[in-house]
Each structure stands twice: as C-alpha cells, then as structure tokens.
A and B are shown apart, each in its own frame.
Chain A
C-alpha cells in the first residue's frame, strides 16, 4: 500500500507560520524577566518578517491546504494593509496605559493573533477557514478593547463588542449552514457549483443564507444598520487599538466579502446586488448624519468609518475588476488617512485633560503645528479633497460604480461627502480657527485627584517620536499618493485583477 505524503506548500503558508511563531515568542517573552520589555520589538520583527514573506509570494497565486486558503495578490495586498496598521498600532502603543496594565507581552501577542486572523481571512476560500479566521480575528480584539482595565469605558467597550460581535458571528454561521445545506459544499467554488448543479437559482433558502451571511459581514465591516456598536466600541477601546480595529478589521472583512460574494455567490448577482447597494446607501446616510453632532473625535471617526464602509461597499456591489481594485486602493488610502488622525488623538489624549474630545485639538495649529498638519491632511483626505489619496480613492470608486451602471450610488457618495464636510471641517476649524486663548496642553484638572483617566500622563507626549513619527508618516503618504497615485493604483489594480483574471 502506497502512502502519499500530502504536498505541503511551505512557501505559501510561510507568512502564517511566521506570525504563529512570533505570537508564541512574544507571549513567552512576558515570562522571562530580561525579555519583558522587548515585546514591542519582537512584534515589529514578526510583522516585518511576515510582510517580507508576503511580498516574496507576490504575483504567484496558489491554492493552499486542499483549497481552504488561496494566497493571491488580493490576499497579499489586504494582509499588507493589516500588517502596516498593526505596526502603527505597536508604535502608538508605546507608553500606552493599556499595555502596562494588561501586560505588554499579552497585549502584543493578542495583537499578533488578530493579525493572524486577518491574514487567514484574506485568504479564506472555504466556509470553515472563513469562519475560523473570522473568530481568530475577533476574539483577541474583544479582549484588546478591554485592556484599559481601570477605565469603565474600556471594559464596556470590550463587553459590547463581544456581545454584538457574537451575534454577528452567529448570524453568519447560520447563513453558512443554509448554504451548506443547499449545496453540500463548504468551499466557495463548490458552493457555486452546487447552486448551479442543484438548480438552486433564486431558491428562497439559499437567498436566506446569502442574506444572513451578508448581515454577519455587515456587522464586522460596521455597515449600517448593523453599526450600532461601532461608536461605543471605538470610543471605549484604547486609541491605538481603535486605530487598528478601524482600519485592519475593515480591510480583512472586505477581502472576504469580495471573495465570498464573487466566487461562491457570483451567480446570484441579481438577488444580492441591489440589496448590497441599498445597504451601502443606508450606510452612507446613517454614518454621515450620525457623525455630525459628535464631540468625541473617536466617536466621530467611528461614524465616519460607517460612512466610509458604505462607500467601499460600492466596490463590492459592482463585482468587477475595477470595483475590486478601487476597493483595495480605498482601503490603503483609508489606512493612511485614519492612522494619521488616530496618532494625533493618541498624542493629545496623553497631554491634555480632554481625552479625545474635540476641545483637545483646539488651537493645535499654533501650538503644535507638527500634529496639526497631519490631522488637517487626514480630515481633508477623508472629506475627499484633491491632492490627497482620499480624492483619488473616491475618483476610483466612482469610476468603478459608473462603469458598473451604479451611477445613482456614485451620486450618493457625492451627497454623503457633502454632509461629511460639516464634521471633518469642524475639526480643522477647531485647530486653526478656534478662539485664541488658554492652552489646553498639560492643564491640570479643575478638581485635583479626579479620575485617573482625566490626568494627562505625559505633558510632552506630542513631541515624542512615537507620536509625531507615525502621524507625519501617514500624512505624508496620504499626500504622496494623492499627487503621485500611480504606484498605489498599480498595486491595487494588480490585486483587483487576480479575482476575476
């Protein structure tokens, strides 16, 4: 009897292996006293190695682990966005209270765990790997949200995210069960086959499955009306984690959104396309209107994220090369724009008594120009003004939408952008046009001995390299790719063409 050793493509799974090994090393580093302070460094090293391995696999699409994963340029580009965001998160977490309270090793290990989930999710082509990766991504985040142990808001945020996230997962799983029941297959291609073979075109049970899967994914990408958790969780979580969550989770979830709806459900286009377009439109309106009155910058960015998710969903709706490419481009641009803003918020949180309130950035233009410029650029880019990556991203998306005969959704994006000006520019106005007067930096609280979260931890925070550096870097990238978008466009169109090519 012949025993065939299964072929294992170690090169293909090397990024996942590197992340797993790194995760274990970082976790164990907490045990050994001399290594205790090296967790951030080890995390960065792991992320760097993983990114290197992913780039090595660029332009070499392959199917891994008997069809459970597919490592193509879409997966790689999304993974790189997630890794970049995680690296920013690690730098911004230096001297963050949460890392000290929760233990630096554990904090960073959880972060790597979540990244691992994202890298897997971006490659998932099977219901099982899809679901496992999604949980792998989510569970560490539930904990990370609550790592600011002594703040009520943080604990509330973690719990809320856990409950709502579980509902999302359960809905998704239920939907998957319908699809599996109908087609008898778990891998995406098999589902598509099954629908065709069993004549399930437009079958109500399949449609229910699709609808529930879409709802589950809408929870993860915070698309309205499944977004209610977003502002609360964003506000409560430690800010570096919020930044990571806002960008990376969205990227990974959109990757699987694309793959699942294209590969498995492409034949049911007629039934889900209008529904997703409607969701996108709702999300644009709800997100932009919700953000209008927000004083907390993190909440504002949460709502803005809901609106931006609506824009990005447009890239899924049209189901084309251009749609996918525009989505990848937008995600990359979104990463830079958001990271610049969150870096500034982290800095101001540590040096003023206002936390993430809009008052914390008042007069920033005069006082801290090095932080004011990144936040300004970020806000203008999110509003889609020219000479920023945000403008090119919108242009790309709208072009894809018009080509895909969804001009009305493009008009929705334009209308949403108009509404969004009101709250983005409010932040800009607070920085540059605020009433001159008292400096808010390092001010002592009115009542001495107020709650610990109100104390500025570091009155010089926004002069530190680990705040100014990331902020400037992300803002510079936002402007660079707004003026010279060609490299990023090529990167995105490469990623986009793998799915349909």
Chain B
C-alpha cells in the first residue's frame, strides 16, 4: 500500500508523456485523485492507538551499502501524506483548468514532484529520506525555471536565476545532510553491520560529540527548506518566479518536510544535541516569527505576503517542536497540516485575483467582495484560519504549541504570543485590501467560476472540517509524537538521566531481573 501511494503519481506521469496533449491535464488529475484515494484508504485503515509503523515495506535496496527500501506510515506522517495528496489534487486540477505551455512535461514534473514528496514522508530509511528530500528539488527546479515568471523588468531576478538561487540554498543544506546521514550510520554501526534504517539507528545512540555536528548538518537542511530566518534568502525570489499551480503545492507541503524531518530524524536520533541546542533553535524560530510577521505586513506583493507569513508560521511550528514536550509537538504536527490547508487556497485565490487584476500588488486591488460575495466568503474563512481565530483548527494548534512552550521556556512563549497578534494584522490587511476598499478603475470583479470553485471549495471544506473536529488529527498523531519526543522530553536526555541517577537506581537497571535469566 505504501509503495502504491508512492509510485502511483510517477506511473501516471510516465504514461501521460505518451498521451495526446489535450488529455494529459485530466490524466494528471486522475493520477492525483487515485493517489488521494489510496491515501484516504490508508487513513481509514490506520490504527490510531498505536505508535508502531503501519503498512510497512522493507526490502534491501543496495545491500552493499546498507540502504533499504523501507517505507511506513505512523502518526507523524499520516496526515502529512493526506495533506500532500489533497494539495496536489487541488494544484493539478487548478492547472488542468487552464492552458499550460509544454503541457506534457509540465504535468510529468508535477507528478514526479508528488512522488518525491510522498517519498520523503514515507521513507523509514535515513538515506532513502535524504534521497527523496533532494529529489523533491529537481522537478521544482524545472517547474519554477521553465514555467516561471521573469521578474528582471521589475528589478527582480529572471526565473532561471531565481531557481538557481533556490536550488543552491537548499542543496547546501541537503548535501551536508547526506554526509551527516552517512556519518550517523557509520558511527552507529561502529565497524559492525551498516544500516540506515531509522528504527535500528534509534537503538544505537551516538556520542554527544558526534551528535553535535551531525545535528547542525541536519538542522541546516531543514531550516533552509522551511525557510527559517537568515536562511530564507531564496524565498522571495523563488516565490515571485514560481508558476502558481506549482507554488500551491510547494508552499503548502515542501516547507513541512523540513519540520517533519526534525520530528522524524533529529529528535529521536540526536537527543543530546537537541537538548543542548534547544534554545538556539528556539531563538531562530522566534526570529522567524517576528521577522516573517513584520515583513508580511509591510509587503505589498500578495505572493510575498503569503510567503513571509509562511516563514512566521513555520517559526511557530519549529518552536512547538523544540518545546520538547508532547503538547508542543502535537500542536506542531496539527499546525503543519493547518498551515498547508490554509496557504494552498490562499495561493489559489492569489491566482484568481491575478487573473482579474493583472497585478500582484494589493494597492491595485480592492472592492472585490461587492460583486463576488462567494469568493470573498471563502477568502474570509481562509484569512480567519490564518490568524488562528478561536474555533479554527489553527487556534487549537497554536494553543497546543504555546502551551508546550509555556511549560518549557516561559520567556520564549511570551515573545511567541506577539506573533499571534501580528498574524491577525497581516491576514486582515490582505483580506481588506483585496476584497474591500475602493475598487480601482478597470478592475474586473465577478464571481468565481464553477471550475475554480471546484478547486477552492473542497480545500476550504477541509479547513472547516478540521476546525470542527481537530481531534481527528490530534488523536492519531499523539502516540507517535509521544514516542518521537520521549527521549528529549523536559530537556532531559538519556545520558543526562543516567548521570542524575543514584548508584542504587543504576544498579537496578544494570542487573537483570531474576525472571529474565535463563
């Protein structure tokens, strides 16, 4: 089942290359819908009370190098997989309603990107994870570069320069991560059997010294991907260049892979370093919240408002993870799903606005709500979810995150709260400037068509659904999240715990219970 989800998009993509040009868009939609169906089937059959891997696949892939083709679903990735398949269906359907240049290659790349993204969520082998993490970038490189917008006339970068910037930034992180992943396995094997399986790496701890540098190599990859403050340099240019259907899935899902990587890899495998550098990462997260929020309410380009708001939201998620408590991490997982569900329709709306106004500047928009009440209503729901209105799932997510943070580091929690307030400002500003105010001359304001409604309404329904019943996510993720943070909870690591134990306690652990001796 895991394999079917993983390879279905790629299979559809390959077949699509041989179809006539007019059919390929709908064929791609069919591919994403089938994948979505498979993901839903997995979610229905998922046992929410267990933290064990389900639908696991484990075959040797490169036996000489210890790399396995190992996939599995647990509470950490279940909803991210669902999110991926939902957003891809939306993004591809949105594209299929419009003419695309070089359609065959476009949809092929979109579907390759889906396979790569699903692969990085499903992978249970450290090296397979790194491989898919890097692979994700390749289709987006082509999508942004060849179908993107040239901004050199506006003082920006050409599409290919912007994507080059993006790929160099992200690969700097992920190549270091490759070295770190290999080092993790080699050091854990210690001359014995080499394996990259995350589960067995979990059992062999590394020394604190090697954890330190390996931690930062992984953190670099994940923080760039998010992007976090100071490593976000690629984001504005890439977001301005990207074609909107690709940006819908890119902003909705790819940033989450970084946050997911912290939970899947860093916290369980490098607990000592995680505790040691907790505050450094929290500072980066807070800086992202503040910087992202401030930028989001000074920018006038709608893409950048959405982009910088993502920086702030990902800062929240990172802070939740590095609260190193079950509450914080639970909230972070919920918030990853929420943010994906919010930012994707946001970009769909941006695309619709762009077609109406021909501009991406909010100063040249306005007054849309009068003639297009349905669009305005949908947008309002999205905007309110973004600012984490009580009653929305985002509120629950942020509440959990802040709760976890309060218990761990109260000072950081106070600063993070200001981010909540600021998000209200930029979300409402975006909504007001585009939907209300005076309508500029020559602006076409009409209701959204059935086609865009088909894309937008299901996404908004997902937001509403989660708002009514966030337990759907929380209940199923809790056991796995608990397991992931168990080693670092409350700033206590296995080695710290050992050191603080009294002699008597150590003795009890080290001497086998009488029942166990044969």
Which of A's residues lie within 8 Å of B, judged by CB?
325, 365-366, 380, 384-387, 391-392, 394-396, 398-399, 402-403, 407, 410-411, 413-415, 417-418, 421-422, 425-426, 428-429, 432-433, 485-486, 489-490, 493
Contacts and interface: CB of A to CB of B under 8 A. Distances in A.
A489 B127 CA distance: 16
Nearest to B161: A429
A380 B138 contact: yes
Nearest to A399: B182
Contacts of A391: 131, 134
A481 to B, nearest CB: 11
Contacts of A325: 64
Given A380-B138, A394-B178, A425-B141, A386 B131 contact: yes
Contacts of B164: 421-422, 425-426, 429
8 contacts: A386-B134, A387-B131, A394-B178, A395-B178, A399-B65, A402-B187, A407-B183, A432-B145
A490 to B, nearest CB: 7
Size category of the B interface is 35 or more
B135 interface: yes
A432 B101 CA distance: 13
B496 interface: no
A12 B171 CA distance: 47
B186 A402 contact: yes
B62 A392 contact: yes
Among B65, B134, B159, B185, the one with the most A-chain Cβ atoms within 10 Å of its Cβ is B65
Interface string B440-473: 0000000000000000000000000000000000
A432 B132 contact: no
B182 A410 contact: yes
Given A386-B134, A418-B171, A433-B146, A486 B61 contact: yes
B64 A493 contact: yes
Contact of B64 (A386, A398, A417, A490): A490
Main secondary structure of the interface of B (DSSP, over half): helix
Interface in B110-135: 127, 131-132, 134-135
Given A325-B64, A395-B127, A395-B178, 18 more contacts: A384-B175, A386-B132, A386-B134, A387-B135, A392-B65, A395-B182, A396-B65, A398-B178, A399-B194, A403-B186, A410-B179, A410-B182, A414-B178, A415-B175, A418-B171, A432-B142, A486-B63, A493-B64
Given A395-B65, A411-B176, A365 B168 contact: no
B160 interface: yes
B65 A421 contact: no
Contact of A365 (B141, B146, B187): B146
A398 B141 CA distance: 25
B512 to A, nearest CB: 34
Nearest to B158: A433
Given A365-B146, A414-B178, A421-B167, A385 B134 contact: yes
B172 interface: yes
Contacts of B131: 386-387, 391
A173 to B, nearest CB: 38
B180 to A, nearest CB: 9
Contact of B135 (A386, A411, A418, A486): A386
A432 B143 CA distance: 10
A246 to B, nearest CB: 24
B126 to A, nearest CB: 12
Contact of A418 (B62, B141, B175): B175
Interface in B244-296: none
Contact of B167 (A366, A425, A489): A425
Contacts of A411: 176, 179
Given A386-B132, A425-B167, A489-B65, A417 B182 contact: no
A418 B168 contact: yes
Nearest to A405: B186
Contacts of A425: 141, 164, 167
B204 to A, nearest CB: 15
Nearest to A483: B61
